Structure 1
Amino acid sequence: MHAMQYEITLPADYDLGIIRKRVADKGHLLDAHPGLGLKAYLVRERGRDGSPVNQYAPFYLWRTAEGMNSFLWGPGFRGLSADFGRPAVRHWLGAGLAHGAVPDAPATSTSTSTATSTSITATRHIVRLPESDDPAEAVERALAESPAHPALHTAAVAVDPSRWELVRFALWYGPAPDDVPGIRYQVLHLSRPELDRLPGGRHW
């Protein structure tokens, strides 16, 4: 598994309706993309959930490197780069995954500012591992701490070994629990063509 994200920070007065329409028009194009576990079309809205910025920040869990490459070198990412400028793409090696116990919601989350009972939200928490930490033990701890919450959809742990940076990413049915740390996102659409083929537990 590979985790990937890019963040496009938008002006404070940017109309996020433009992003919502873009996702509504194009989000389905990855609903059957080979090698893709999931793509969460994430946004942050200035002044909401503590966000200081407007931001479009999709997060991916790839089942195969080939699927990830076919996206990055294909028309989807090229089109996004043409519209917004080429963003830096962050990449982490997948370390583990937890599937939630709640029956899956529709692939489309809410695309309006009004959440519904089936809306999906996301959290992302990044920590830098101190030099004194054993990376394997830190990953094991992170996997053991994966939230066993009734609202959990999916939780992933991944590591960037070039920075020794650990990321926890989670999707939630409804608002994320208050005690979960990290940045909070709205999910405009969820493509999950091969999520069921990503194994639960640790990935080594």
Structure 2
Amino acid sequence: MHAMQYEITLPADYDMGIIHRRVATRGHLLDDHPGLGLKAYLVRERGLDGSPVNQYAPFYLWRTAEGMNSFLWGPGFRGLGADFGRPAVRHWLGAGLRRGPAIDGPAVGAPGVGAPATATRQIDLLPEGADPAEAVEHALAALPDHPELHTAAVAVDPARWELLSFALWRGAAPDAVPGTRYRVHHLSSPELDRLPVGRHW
């Protein structure tokens, strides 16, 4: 599994309706993309959920490197670059996955049965003397066990030694969960059921 995200930060007075319409009209294009576990079309809006910025920040869990490559070198990503400029793409190696009880439940605030409405993302730098394996094990054990949890993942960037914890929620994310908060405007999940659950080594 590979985790991937790019963030497009927009002006404070940007009409976020443009992003909403973009997702509404184009989000379905990856609903059957080979090798894609999930793509969460994430949005932050200035003044909502404590966000200081307007931002479009899709998050991906790829089942295969081939699927990820076919997206990055394909027409969809080229179109994004043509509209907003080519963003830096962050990438983490998948370390673990949990399916939550809400993955098959009714949706709240997003289309489709079991579709999530919100997401959280926490990134922590591993200290110089920390054992990466222990940190990953701790992060996996700390993945939330909550009735509103849809999917949660842990991943690592071994170049920066960053530990990523990401979670999708059917309703509002619990207040106790740390990290950046997003609203989910669409979820493409063609191969989510084929991503391995638990530790990935």
* TM bracket (short chain): over 0.9
How far residue 120 of structure 1 moved from its aligned partner, in angstroms, is 1.4
Matches within 5 A, 1:187-202: 187-202=184-199
TM-score computed with the length of structure 2 as normaliser: 0.95
TM-score computed with the length of structure 1 as normaliser: 0.94
How far residue 52 of structure 1 moved from its aligned partner, in angstroms, is 0.5
Contact 2:108 2:170 in 1 (8 A): no
- Give 2:7's aligned residue: 7
Contact 2:37 2:191 in 1 (8 A): yes
Matches within 5 A, 1:135-154: 135-154=132-151
- Measure the CA separation in 2 of the matches of 1:148 and 1:17: 34
- Which runs of 5 or more structure 2 residues have no equivalent in the other structure? none
How far residue 104 of structure 1 moved from its aligned partner, in angstroms, is 2.4
Which one of 169, 173, 178 corresponds to residue 170 of structure 2?
A: 173
Distance 1:179 1:187, change over 3 A: same
- Give 2:84's aligned residue: 84
1:51-76 deviation digits (Å, cap 9, x = unpaired):
11000000000000000000000000
- Give 1:158's aligned residue: 155
Contact 2:109 2:171 in 1 (8 A): no
- Measure the CA separation in 2 of the matches of 1:198 and 1:119: 17
- Which runs of 5 or more structure 1 residues have no equivalent in the other structure? 112-116
Identity of aligned residues (%): 78
Contact 1:107 1:192 in 2 (8 A): no
**1:125 aligns to 2:125 (yes or no):** no
How far residue 16 of structure 1 moved from its aligned partner, in angstroms, is 0.5
- Letter of the structure 2 residue corresponding to residue 191 of structure 1: S
Distance 1:67 1:198, change over 3 A: same
Extract structure 1 runs of 4+ deviating beyond 4 A: 105-109
- How many equivalent residue pairs? 199
Contact 1:107 1:191 in 2 (8 A): no
